[in-house]
Structure 1
Amino acid sequence: MNRPQPWSGTADGSLIRHAATQAAADPDRPLFSHVRFGPGGEEARSRLTRAQTIESARSLGGRLAMVADPGERVAILAPEGLDYVIGFIGAMYAGCIAVPLFAPTSLSSNERLGAALRDCEPTVWLVLRKDVRDAAELLSDGTLPPPREIVPIDGDYARWGEGFEGRHCDLAYLQYTSGSTRSPRGVMVSHANVIANVRQLVEAFGATEDGTCVGWLPLHHDMGLVLTVCVPLVTGLSSEFMDPVSFLKRPARWLSLLSRPGPVYTAAPNFAYDLLLRRVQPEETHVDLSRVKVFLNGSERVRAETLRRFTKAFAPHGVTPEVLRPSYGLAEATVFAATTETGGHPTARDFSREALEKGVAQPASEDTVSLVSCGRPIGQQVRIVDPDTREPLVPGNVGEIWLRGPNIAQGYWARAEESAETFGAVLDGVPGWLRTGDLGFEYDGDVFVSGRLKDLIIVDGRNHYPDDIEATIRETAPDLRPDRMAAFEVTRDGRTGVVVVAERTGRAPSAERDIRALEARVRAAVSERHGTTLLAFDVVRPGTLNVTSSGKVARGACRRAYLAGHIAPEADR
């Protein structure tokens, strides 16, 4: 057998053209595989070859072309599975702009879905046949713009595909942001953006043509969509995925999918690796992870302790430090911006807490903050810029991360002014820089992310990073849910300070004296490490805090809910 070669596709054309080229070259090769799990283990596995994918997408595209013009939006409102994938590709085949969302239950329980539909006003809703009536009922109260038609993804459209060659629109899809700080916005991602970012990803991964992308992240999430759907479409690598609920119910299922022949590439936020460590006993788990070439860790702050514990726990199963790949990205850059080099080890450094509060990254051995390097950009530029003066900063100074490259999206849908401000920044006379809103710095050539500009807490002239305060509380109070706490700034009675709300675990509430003892420990730890006094520390019941589509706590939304009186200690309810 010949040694697999790195993918070397070009960055021209469209996603459909790349997929059709792959199908013509090897039509019977599996492309997408969806795994469903039942109580006893794997329940069902459905597959699509390259040829089947193109044939199904072409047929659906032909049907959509009868009701939607090129450039009109097609919302995908379906559960995870192969039908969702076909809906996404079929919309692009029709020359429409795909809008990956999720299956609706009720709009009253999901404001984000309603906001996205009102924002982009899709011409067509794609749903499963069994959900057509339920989808139609969502229109009954008149709060949503009605689509021209609700089309079942899983209908029989073979005759519509006959002779249909497809249509083109420069925009491939709208990626709705998680809305962690504001209402969701539709990031306009072009075919060229996706293809460029896929090239950057496969170069960073050292991906080979016989590899498989394995995932569980939602397909409406930027990381899940690109890894699970777009990388296979462009490169021909296989994709195998399950739905997020299956993972959350039993995290070991992810490991079972990763234990397969051939090179494997996967990605998840940091909390997923922590969840594996809490819910899986490595010594009792029979999986072979030696073929996993990349465990990408991104979408939220990467914790050094998580990397260390994960490597140690799963080393007997074949995990080595170099396959753990701390990364940085965002939907406005399609998804990927920077990662550690192939063959390198994740780098964690200890920086002076006091210096970071003053905006300087200074290595130290006492009173430190441990930050993990997100590596270096591939195929794009990164600069650290003073967000106020918009002047570049020298390495070692904390500022806003700016990016520039072919993967940077086209702006926000129907938000020209905000798009110009975010995507049209000028640096050293060169336009087209993306203002990410993330804070970070460069050190020894690597990018370190320290927080969000809008989440930054400033008390008495000192900068405090919510992630840092939350990390202190995690260490002090292990009984609290580590991924469900939020620190934010509040002004009360003329005084500005820090408020922290944290969800307890699923166990019954502790006695009042235990809550008071916990609060005393937390307040003392925050005061000692961060030099500030908490205005309030509230323990709330599970499920209270606002989270984004990717499961991250939405601090901005939590702050607004707290100020409106919608978040209160459990004892007060």
Structure 2
Amino acid sequence: MTQLDLPSAPLVTWPASYATDPGLCLEEIVRPYGSTATVSFIDADGSRDSVTYDVLARRIATAAARLRGAGVRVGDPVAMTLTNDLPAVVAALGVWAAGGTLVSLPPSPRRGRELHAERFGAVLAAMDCRFHLTAPDDPGPLTDRLRAVPIGGLQGEERVSDPEPDIPRTALVQFTSGSVGTPKGVAIRADTFAGHTKMISRCFDLDPVRDRVATWLPLYHDLGFVCFFGSALYSRTGQVHTDPRTFVLNPAHWLTMLAEEGATISGAPNFGFRLASRVPYPDKLDLSRMRCCLNAAERVLWSDVVDFHRVAGPLGFAWEAIMPAYGLAEGTVGVSCTPRGRGPVEGPGGHVSLGPALPGARYQLRGDETPATLLISGQWLLEGYWTAAGFEPRQEDPFDTNDAAFTHDGELYVIGRRTEVASISGHNVFAEDVEAGALRAGGPSLLGCAAFKHSATDGGERFALVLEISPRTAKSAPELARTVRAAVSDLLGTRVAPLLVVQQGVIPRTTSGKPRRPALREAVLSDGLPARRILAELS
């Protein structure tokens, strides 16, 4: 069955029992003794590091004992950047086994490390965080007040008595994807994390005998760590993770890995589906085992989903395996998701349904306009935020997501951020609308884009647009700029200005790959982009 002959979808809800049934606590989750399923990590050079869950449990116990020996006590926050490799995972889970709170930091940028250290260091100081687990390529602890504990020194399989302190009430502090500018650490309770990963494992219907989870998503982001790694760990299902750079450098690697690993569960942001649809694959690639593949973390475009299936479908990738979803760190990770085994649904205005609320989650709309303000509530909400000013308990219930959305046939459709919407000729246009129009018009040479709202010289509002292409296609930049501007104008009735075509990598992005619009706005309007990387410009 393809997307062209699917019948209208009946109203579907996820079983509430997926959230309410008893399950493992976090202390049990991080002690997977006895399981022979494997956890594997594939480095950028193709080398593989694999262990069974039983061996992983022994390594976690060793790491916990060494952390306790280093001075970590129950309730201590311990910071680290959770990279896609086995030593980092052992260290992170060792923090929990030692009774600590895991503080998951985004990686330091190649440029501006001092500012990054200053901003995140202020939050860690407010938390009274004293420990920073460092990788071999780290220049040292993030700030002078932190004690560096090398991740390599936590590795081993010693026969140690497994420390069994209770994990503190706050188990995880994960920074929101927009935290690069103003860090906000989302505090997640231990029972919330455990219940959420149980719920996701039930929604995926994970079976250790049948299933294998495989992704390239970074583990320092909630989609990679909580949704995929966490649910597989909970259910003791085999899993494999690769370095995110492998996908960036070669988008064909994702589907190739799924076939080689016999994967049944995976996922990516929408841009992953788009890039994967633009590269060739061997005819004998077999993707018929895929059952569940989330499309989440940014707006899902129907054209990208269709293009992806046009390429992956002939290789056995079922349309029904694609599951558009919505979530955010403040909801632990998941809020809504397309029902398993149904496939994507195109709704009003060509928008893609993000499914009904997940078990234990609820959403509602505030306001009479359409789209309206999206609010969420339920079992999976954050405790509060850690900032440089200290801990800020969550005050709102329901929680305001700052997203604009509507519902149709009982399912959620998220349009964009309320801070990036402008009134154009009497109707609202979102930055995501501009980007969607640009991506449709730009063709395969357009690798990414970002729009932002600003004040025009006539006092009104308009959008600027930045397009990213490969330096190899630089000669096409002027024509691409004109084509995209005309297409967006015809589609939305607004003239984007300025419009820049730049080399890939110029647009500042969050840890999940979303455009950092405020930073881009400042750079473009203050002529802060590097001139040598601007390939074309329309004022």
TM tier, shorter chain?
0.7 to 0.9
AA aligned to 1:536 is P
Percentage identity across aligned positions?
25
Gaps of 5+ in 2: 1-16
Contact 1:376–1:445 (Cα < 8 Å) also in 2? yes
RMSD over aligned CA atoms reads 3.0
- Partner of 2:524, secondary structure, is helix
Residue aligning to 2:395: 424
AA aligned to 1:241 is H
AA aligned to 2:347 is R
Distance in 2 (CA, whole Å) between partners of 1:105 and 1:567 is 17
Residue aligning to 1:384: 364
Residue aligning to 2:40: 33
- Partner of 2:343, secondary structure, is coil
- Partner of 1:378, secondary structure, is coil
Per-residue CA deviation, residues 380-425 of structure 1 (Å, 9 max, x unaligned), is 3433333xxxx5x5xx9311211112111211114789955xx432
Residue aligning to 1:315: 313
- Partner of 1:233, secondary structure, is helix
Indicate the structure whose relative CO is greater, using CA pairs within 8 Å and at least 6 residues apart. Answer: 2
AA aligned to 1:550 is S
Q: Which of 336, 339, 343 is equivalent to 1:338?
A: 336
Residue aligning to 2:421: 456
Q: Post-superposition shift, 1:499? A: 1.5
Distance in 1 (CA, whole Å) between partners of 2:535 and 2:316 is 47
Q: Which of 322, 325, 328 is equivalent to 1:324?
A: 322
Contact 1:116–1:176 (Cα < 8 Å) also in 2? no
Relative to structure 1, is the Cα distance of residues 158 and 131 closer, same or farther in structure 2, using a 3 angstrom cutoff? same
Distance in 2 (CA, whole Å) between partners of 1:450 and 1:439 is 6
Q: Post-superposition shift, 1:444? A: 0.9
TM-score, normalisation: structure 2: 0.86
Per-residue CA deviation, residues 353-372 of structure 1 (Å, 9 max, x unaligned), is xxxxxxxxxxxxxxxxx210
Contact 2:82–2:104 (Cα < 8 Å) also in 1? no
Contact 1:219–1:228 (Cα < 8 Å) also in 2? no
- Partner of 1:538, secondary structure, is strand
Residue aligning to 2:14: none
Residue aligning to 1:361: none
Contact 1:62–1:166 (Cα < 8 Å) also in 2? no
Q: Which of 92, 100, 124 is equivalent to 1:120?
A: 124
Residue aligning to 1:564: 526
Residue aligning to 1:207: 206
Contact 1:77–1:103 (Cα < 8 Å) also in 2? yes
Map 1:212-223 onto structure 2 (within 5 A).
212-223=212-223
Contact 1:100–1:219 (Cα < 8 Å) also in 2? no
Per-residue CA deviation, residues 283-314 of structure 1 (Å, 9 max, x unaligned), is x3432111111111000111111111222222
Contact 1:483–1:553 (Cα < 8 Å) also in 2? no
Map 1:355-504 onto structure 2 (within 5 A).
370-386=350-366, 393=368, 397-414=370-387, 419=392, 423-425=394-396, 432-459=397-424, 462-478=427-443, 481-492=446-457, 494-504=459-469
Matched, 1:135 2:140: yes
Matched, 1:554 2:525: no
Gaps of 5+ in 1: 1-5, 139-143, 352-369, 426-431
Q: Post-superposition shift, 1:536? A: 1.9
Q: Post-superposition shift, 1:78? A: 6.1
Per-residue CA deviation, residues 342-363 of structure 1 (Å, 9 max, x unaligned), is 2213101242xxxxxxxxxxxx
Distance in 2 (CA, whole Å) between partners of 1:465 and 1:531 is 12
- Partner of 1:56, secondary structure, is helix
Q: Post-superposition shift, 1:529? A: 2.2
Residue aligning to 1:83: 87
Count of matched residue positions in the alignment of Structure 1 and Structure 2:
514
Distance in 2 (CA, whole Å) between partners of 1:572 and 1:346 is 37
AA aligned to 2:319 is P
Q: Post-superposition shift, 1:460? A: 5.9
- Partner of 2:519, secondary structure, is helix
Distance in 1 (CA, whole Å) between partners of 2:536 and 2:306 is 39
Distance in 2 (CA, whole Å) between partners of 1:413 and 1:160 is 37
Distance in 1 (CA, whole Å) between partners of 2:480 and 2:253 is 35
AA aligned to 2:325 is S
Residue aligning to 2:245: 245
Deviates more, 1:443-452 or 1:533-542: 533-542
TM-score, normalisation: structure 1: 0.81
